[in-house]
Amino acid sequence: MAMIKKRKLQEAQIPTSSMADIAFLLLLFFLVATTIDVDTGIGLTLPEYVENPETVKVPKNRMVAILINANGDVLMDGKPVSIFAIKDMLKPRIESKIDLPDNQKLIVSVKTDRQTKYNTYIQALDQIKQAYFEVRDQYSQSTYGKKFKNLDAKETEDIQKNKIPIIISLAEPESIKK
């Protein structure tokens, strides 16, 4: 008599109904731990450090000197102005130098006191940057018919390097007078 093993066919199954829940839990963790906020700020490149910097004479019409004292008062080319007027005063001067060669572009010099509040300095820097950005926008609008941020890489570089470079010079604050 042949013995036939009878096997009961049992289907082995992994329960997958809770898989979605587990995945959601993981998802939730990453959602919470993610920092989506992008870093924003005003970018700047510092000059290299040299022991004894040479002083180079710069013609007066190339320079815009902005002085900020400890109280937040602004002196622009020797005249007291409001900090929020910097942008509008700067724009025509940037525009007048678009077609000039590299060595005649405008230099904006910002000088502060040691006691000047950082916030005031950022406001002034913001005004300067805004002036440059608006001039760039207008220029690209009139030359290419597009906004500056929509230009292609070559056009962007042309404006950034040749037409409207942002040159900001940070003068070191004068040491405290005791």
Partner 1 sequence: MKFVKKRAGSKTEIPTASMPDIVFMLLLFFMVSTTLREVEVKVQYQLPSAKAIEKIENKRLVQYIWVGSNGSIQINDSIVKLNQIEPIMYAKRKALPNVIVSLRIDKNTDMGLVTDIQQELRKATALRINYSANLKAKG
Smallest gap from Cβ 6 to partner 1, in A, equals: 34
Nearest CA-CA partner of 109 in 139, 74, 70, 137: 74
Burial 137-169 (b: 16+ CB within 10 A, else e): ebbbeeeeeeebeebeeebeeebeeebbebebe
C-beta closer to partner 1: residue 72 or 98? 72
Q: Which of 74, 113, 135, 151 binds partner 1 (CB under 8 A)?
A: 113
Q: What is the smallest separation between the CB atom of 2 and partner 1, expressed in angstroms?
A: 43
Residue type, 25: L
Window 153-172: residues binding partner 1 (CB under 8 A): 170, 172
Selected from 1, 3, 14, 38, the binder of partner 1 by CB under 8 A is: 38
Per CB under 8 A, which region of 3-11, 56-64, 88-96, 124-132 contacts partner 1? Answer: 124-132
Residue 97 phi/psi, 5-degree rounding, is: -110, 10
The residue whose two tokens read 């007027």 is 85
For the CB of residue 63, give the shortest distance to partner 1 in the complex, in Å: 20
Q: Is 139 in the site for partner 1 (CB under 8 A)?
A: no
